[in-house]
Amino acid sequence: MTLPDVAPNKDLYLNRELGVLAFNRRVLAMAEDESVPLLERLKYLCIVSSNMDEFFEIRVSGLMEQIRQNPDFREDDGLTASECLTRVSDVAQDMVAQQYKLLNDGVLPALRNQGIALLTLNTWNEEQAHWARQYFRHEVLPVLTPIGLDPAHPFPRVLNKSLNFAVELSGQDAFGRSSNIAIVQAPRALPRLIRMPSNLSGYEHGFVMLTSILQSFIPELFPGMEVHGVYQFRVTRNSDLYVDEEEITNLRVALQGELSQRHYGDAVRLEVSDQCTDTMTARLLKEFGLSQQALYRVNGPVNLVRLMQLPDWVDRPDLKFKPFTPGRPDALLKESDLFRAIQKGDVLLHHPYQSFNPVLDFLKQAATDPTVVAIKQTIYRTGTDSALMESLLAAARSGKEVTVVLELMARFDEEANIQWASKLERVGAHVVYGVVGQKTHAKMLMVVRREKTDSGKSVLRRYVHLGTGNYHPRTAKLYTDFGLFSCDEALGHDVHEIFNHLTGLGRARKLNKIWNSPFNLHSNVVAAVRREVEHAKAGKKARIMARMNALLEPTLINELYAASQVGVKIDLIVRGVCALRPGVPGLSENITVRSVVGRLLEHSRVFYFLNDGVEDVYISSADWMERNFFRRVELAVPITERKLKKRVVDEGLKALLADNLLAWSMDSDGHYTRRKPSSARRLNAQIHLLGLLAVNYQDEEPAGSIGEPLSD
């Protein structure tokens, strides 16, 4: 079959937005799964809400902008933005209804049976209502500002995703004014979840949401008026920042100005309580310039993300995932000095099964080591409170040459990164914001140390850490990622060159080992796929295994189709959205796609090419998307040491391919089916790896025979 040039084609490519929603359905399935601990099921419901918020803020807002600016444009899947938005709205409405039904009919009743109750106003007894009224009058009322709508009081500016109430009323106020609508905004300083004393709640853990308290007592804000209804609502706005990097002279200053407007972007979604009248919803939709398609009625609080606090406040280990202690590689157990350990050979870390602390310790040791002369690091996301950043600050204060390539345009982390940039600059560190138009997404750290050889000669040696995940201590406990420590001269040279690309000027020079975008990562991956094609044509075994978060780049998808057609066996593990259609006769029957969704967020990127038995294995920061190949600075790092290569293949690929408890198989239409054990053997890849790498971890769920070789 001769493949056409890349062009919109629904027979070749699946829709990205529908793929994102399909991923969130798989997350929602974790909340539906009664074998998952109960408080964790509540967390998954909250995670779906958080994911959907970002989906509307970024993806749906992009569709609406496309409809305004270029309505006839068709994406790779052949859909216009309008067609896509219609399909997305139908799926999203169904998912939201399913989510609230599960909350109200499944999770909350099950929690009550365990002594954990979310008490809503329609269930309060007299004493509970009295307590709630007192809480309202003392803790809430003093900070509320009711706004009656009239010519002198227009509709207030409503913050993105803030909690608000629309009030229907009648009568005249103290000034003789008549108004039938008022708006009450809940200040963000107020807690959304409030613990009720157990002697009043009747439960060991009783909670009330601020939503219920406001719903019940807002009428007290309008004395002498008749209140007919109080309805919660929340508006979601376009949160994608636009900064024309070619037209500005100071990216940080421009970004700070744009951040202040993020909360007031164009409205893209309106959520209201299901009791809200048609008259009020019509008024709100008109106010925000939205169509009926953007309206979501919910049976419960409009922001489920706020319930994420509840599991943290409840000390019930039996209702949560079993805790684990991350392990350490043998090389680091035998040698406490990290530089000495790395000198003996490359060290591979697999987070969170293995601890992220060696990375923190490496930087901390470098900051205080008198023989270290320079530290260079890329930062994409690291959080507002980071021991890693504190080590960089300490190193700069001690006089070391510290250079940080800090990505200011990391979505939703812009403000934290701006703050870190200011702190670093104040202590004398060099802070660079990367390259205009190219986000720096690569994960790399280099320490330059002055050492003496056996002959007594003084030399500079480079130590590097290269990984698939962000330098973020908190997410390193939740996301699966690989990281490699090395003092290999060729890798050190490559990392040095890449930092020079980012901080200086000059043409990119050829690297020894690393593939990097936007220069040769895409072309090298394509060449590796084509090499497997040539092996297959020559009658040799050919195999590709790859793992990533998203697969969307159409040229590479076409190359994979071509490889499938000559018999190359291709197994893809794509956590999120995948535009490739697997299993299509004559096109992709040799390609499988699966997604693994479990306790931990699968985040590693691993590429494997059999290459006639050589087995080329790379860990990478890049997904197979256009932005990663052509509009970002990304790395793919070869794993060459035999034992480490085997570890990456076994732990990063084969374990997930063998999973039959967390894995979902994708069909050619983009539908996913959860895999089921076909025999007595049950394998949960994440539990398998916890048993293999964490400290003395055992779980009741059979994970397969730990240490048993995993089949291809």
542-564 pLDDT, tens digit per residue, is 999 999 999 999 999 999 999 99
Q: Which of 441, 501, 522, 688 is catalytic?
A: 441
Instruction: Tell me which of 14-23, 113-122, 698-707 is least confident.
Output: 698-707
State yes or no: pLDDT of 241 exceeds 50: no
Binding residues for ATP: 51, 479, 575, 603
Q: Above 90 in pLDDT, residue 415? A: no
Q: Determine whether domain 330-510 maps to CATH 3.30.870.10.
A: yes
Query: CA of 14: how far to CAs of 22, 511, 579, in Å?
Result: 12, 35, 4
pLDDT at 250: 47
Q: Tell me the residue ranges of DSSP E strands in 104-225.
A: 116-118, 146-148, 164-170, 181-185, 193-196, 205-209
> pLDDT tens for residues 596-640?
999 999 999 999 999 999 999 999 999 999 999 999 999 999 999
Percent of the chain at pLDDT above 70?
91
What does the DSSP 8-state code read for residue 347? Answer: E
Mean pLDDT to the nearest integer, 262-285 = 89
pLDDT at 359: 96
- The yes-or-no verdict on residue 392 having pLDDT over 80 is yes
Model confidence at 423, pLDDT cuts 50, 70, 90, reads confident
Work out the mean pLDDT of the chain and round it to a whole number: 90
Q: What is the pLDDT of residues 35-54, one digit of tens each?
A: 999 999 999 999 999 999 99
* Three-state DSSP state, 549: coil
Name the CATH topology of 16-319: polyphosphate kinase like (3.30.1840)
Spatial distance between the Cα atoms of 58 and 79, rounded to a whole number of angstroms: 18
Angstrom distance (rounded) from CA 209 to CA 194: 6
Average pLDDT over residues 354-359: 97
> What's the N-to-C CA distance of the chain in angstroms?
28
Whole-model pTM: value is 0.91
Whether 441 is a known active-site residue: answer yes
- The whole-number average pLDDT for the span 484-504 is 94
* H or E, element range at 111: helix 108-113
Domain spans of the chain, in order of start: 16-319, 330-510, 516-693
Evaluate whether 312 touches 441 at the Cβ level (below 8 Å).
no
CATH 3.30.870.10 fits 516-693, yes or no: yes
Q: Is there a shared CATH topology between the 16-319 domain and the 330-510 domain? A: no
Beta-bridge partners for 269: 236
Residues near 341 by beta carbon (within 8 Å), at least 6 away in sequence: 331, 332, 334, 335, 347, 485
pLDDT of residue 704: 39
- C-alpha separations of 556 from 161, 290, 315, 529 in Å: 38, 38, 48, 9
